[in-house]
Amino acid sequence: MSVQDVVIAGGGVSGLSIAIHLRILGAGRVTVLERYHAGAGQSGRAAGILRALVNNSPVASMLLESIRFFESFEDRFGQAIPYHRPGYLLVSRSPAAGAMDRTIASAGAAGCSASRISGHEAAELQPGLRCGADAIYAYEPGAIHLDPMMATQVLARVARGLGVRIEEGCQVESILVENGRAAGLGTAKEQFRAGKTVLATSVLGAGQLRELGVEVPVFPHRAEMAFFSVLPQSPFRLRRILSDATTLLYMRPEGSEQMFVGWREGDRIASPEDFAAVDPENYRQTSNYATLADMQARLSATLPFMNDGFVHRTYACVYDYTPDGMPVLDQAASVPGLYFALGYSGGGFSLSPWVGSVMARYLCEDVKTAELEMLRLARFREGAAVSWSNAAAGDKE
């Protein structure tokens, strides 16, 4: 048996970020339990995009804090997480001009530098982009992307350097409860007793909480992605992080000749009935042919030079979706000492540094910021779901 101050289930970017920030605030014994290896879940399959052009000032502020965290990471911790800053190009149609302008204003109120640009400017930023007569554009020059698995592994290394114990190959089997209070986590290896327990276990967390009578509206949703490649002789390459509200795709560069491409899932989901529900423990982990054919046709509509491109490789993952597409960060009212950070809806990587900071303050100092309060569990029954989007329906990358 091990005795900890805080034990965290989940060795992805969220759990590791919470652990790092706990140690920065002076928390004592902090342990992270991961059933496989760090980043083996959704963290290692993220797009690794961070941008703040969203139509909600508090959410834009969260995302800007995360961008600054990665930009200053090497100076703070002495370990490098390489990142790229190609900027974020948003494409939509003229009927959405009002929404785009409101998004720029909301993000700008939080400090995000973004503006409308002309079709000529968009074509200069991204050669080979289809520029239709009714197309409109916005550009956020400070947006970045990075390798999600590299980032996760460096976070784990830094956490260990700060004194965090990380147990890999250690599956949580139970949440320990004594006298009505969370007392830690049980595993096949041993019991990890702790004064405070945190679940950062993505889509599995809702089931773990349900066993204790705590209902959190987190739904599994299978999402498909692909890496596409141009032919070597093509004069065009993807130069920017690009999101196209007309084709419902987003993408970022991957090396010199490839691009990561995913669906703007928020545009395709209007209610929980639209989720592609699967068993997160048993699902197909590559994309379906029909999806890829549709994706390539849409990609070619955005970037005509991809008519000659090809699918390089694919994968699928299971997002932990909530009704408003934002995470639930809270403590179980019926089980004191049990905290959870779940329901990232595909945006967990980009929010994880901010989540680590606010959750650590909540755990160490019992400080609940206004933004953390905004993401409380009770918001769903109180009619206070978070509204956020960019030029079209909200997308998470």
One DSSP character per residue, 152-170 reads HHHHHHHHHHTT-EEEES-
Read off the tokens for 224: 């498909």
Q: For the chain, what is the domain count? A: 1
Q: Quick check: is 89 in a domain?
A: no
Contact 228, 254 (CB under 8 A): no
Q: What percent of the chain has pLDDT over 90?
A: 87
% of the chain exceeding 70 in pLDDT:
97
Instruction: Say if 66 falls within a structural domain.
Output: no
Given this model, what pLDDT does residue 360 score? 97
pLDDT in tens, 240-265: 999 999 999 999 999 999 999 999 99
Cα distance between residue 346 and residue 40, in whole Å: 15
Q: Report residue 395's pLDDT band, with 50, 70 and 90 as the boundaries.
A: very low
Residue 178 within a domain: yes
pLDDT tens digits, residue range 341-365?
999 999 999 999 999 999 999 999 9
Confidence check: pLDDT of 200 > 70? yes
Is 353 inside a domain boundary? yes
pLDDT in tens, 289-301: 999 999 999 999 9
Mean pLDDT of 60-85: 97
Domain around 186: 2-47+148-218+324-379
Question: What pLDDT score does 393 carry?
Answer: 40
CATH number of the domain that residue 213 is part of: 3.50.50.60
Q: What is the pLDDT of residue 209?
A: 95
Asked, for residue 331, whether it belongs to a domain, the answer is yes
Q: In whole angstroms, what is the distance from residue 276 CA to residue 318 CA?
A: 9
Look at residue 316 in the predicted model and tell me its pLDDT: 93
Average pLDDT, the chain: 94
| pLDDT one-digit tens code per residue, 90-128 | 999 999 999 999 999 999 999 999 999 999 999 999 999
Q: What is the arithmetic mean of pLDDT over 169-189?
A: 95
For helices 97-109 and 57-71, give the axis angle rounded to 10 degrees.
60
- Residue 316 is assigned to a structural domain of this protein: no
Mean pLDDT of 167-177: 95
Geometric angle at alpha carbon 369, from 18 and 30, rounded to 5°: 20
- What lies within 8 Å, CB to CB, of 372 at 6+ separation is 329, 358, 359, 362
- Domain presence at residue 204: yes
pLDDT of the residue at 394: 39
165-168 and 144-146: which strand pairing?
unpaired
Instruction: Note the pLDDT of residue 392.
Output: 43
Enumerate residues 6+ apart whose C-beta is below 8 A from 379.
Answer: 324, 385, 386
Residue 78 lies in a domain: no
pTM over 0.75: yes
Q: Is the pLDDT of residue 50 over 50?
A: yes
